[in-house]
Amino acid sequence: MSLPTLLAAPEVGPRLVDLCCCQGGASRGYTDAGFVVTGVDIFPQPRYPYPFHQADAIEFAAQHGAGFDAIAASFPCQAYTACWQIQRREHPQLIDIGREVLNRTGRPWVMENVPGAPLHDPVELCMCMFTSEPGTYRPRWFETGGGFILPRMEHRPHTKKHTKMGRPPRPDEVMHVVGNFSGVAAARAAMGIDWMTRDGLREAIPPVYTRWIGEHLIAHLAACSTKRSAA
């Protein structure tokens, strides 16, 4: 699908572009919240379930970000993971330049990454905040900008430990959906995702996170619209 076609899509809700969308975990949550979502990724994503444009995320945001009502970004996380601390391989570090570009769009935005990434005053989300019996914890940090601020949720105690890499979880464990984890079907259930491959699950955000964020973001957009109408 071409970019002109994407930008001319019928308006049935506020429009959000999901940068570095991969196979669409975050996009599903924003869609469930009520957004019309377009995904952007530098790699082909045949499993992505919404309108998609293959492009460099930074370049796309700089050129087209202002054409959307809101922007989400999940820039590559590998440079900030515990695995990187051991292997020290080269990975792109796009958070700082990404933040600059997102701010220049003038739109509200959300930027996600792993704990330890250089985000500014992030809000942490974890599956323990959304269910009393999580199949995985999957902590992730979210920085917001463009006038949008998220509330903070209570982080419940973790009562189970992560399973060891490559082994199915025991009853007293939760899945650790990273690397060569064991059990794609179990990971799909734990993450609330039913269409992804192993590679997609390793990179995914549980949609329940972005549905919660998206609901707050839509409320923010509505409040901004009301203020403009009253001015």
Domains by residue range for the chain, with CATH:
3-124+139-154+205-230 (3.40.50.150)
What does the alpha-carbon distance between residue 71 and residue 63 come to, in Å, rounded to a whole number? 13
**Helices and strands in the chain, H and E counts:** 8, 9
Q: What is the CA radius of gyration of the chain?
A: 17
Whether the per-residue pLDDT at 228 is higher than 60: the answer is yes
What does the alpha-carbon distance between residue 177 and residue 138 come to, in Å, rounded to a whole number? 8
Amino acid at 145: G
Q: Is 106 helix (H, G, I), strand (E, B) or coil?
A: coil
pLDDT at 85: 47
pLDDT tens-digit map of 41-73: 999 999 999 999 999 999 999 999 999 999 999
In this prediction, residues 109-132 reach a mean pLDDT of: 96
pLDDT tens-digit map of 135-161: 999 999 999 999 999 999 999 999 999
Nearest one of 102, 6, 101 to 53, comparing CA atoms: 6
Whether the per-residue pLDDT at 78 is higher than 70: the answer is no
To which residue do tokens 């050129």 refer? Answer: 63
What does the alpha-carbon distance between residue 171 and residue 157 come to, in Å, rounded to a whole number? 17
C-alpha dihedral, 194 to 198 to 203 to 205, nearest 10°: 20
Whether the per-residue pLDDT at 169 is higher than 90: the answer is no
- On the 0-12 / 13-18 / 19+ scale of CB atoms within 10 A, 115 is middle
Q: Is 10 helix (H, G, I), strand (E, B) or coil?
A: coil
| 163 neighbors 171 (Cβ within 8 angstroms) | no
pLDDT tens-digit map of 84-120: 444 555 656 789 999 999 999 999 999 999 999 999 9
pLDDT at 167: 81
% of the chain beyond a pLDDT of 70: 88
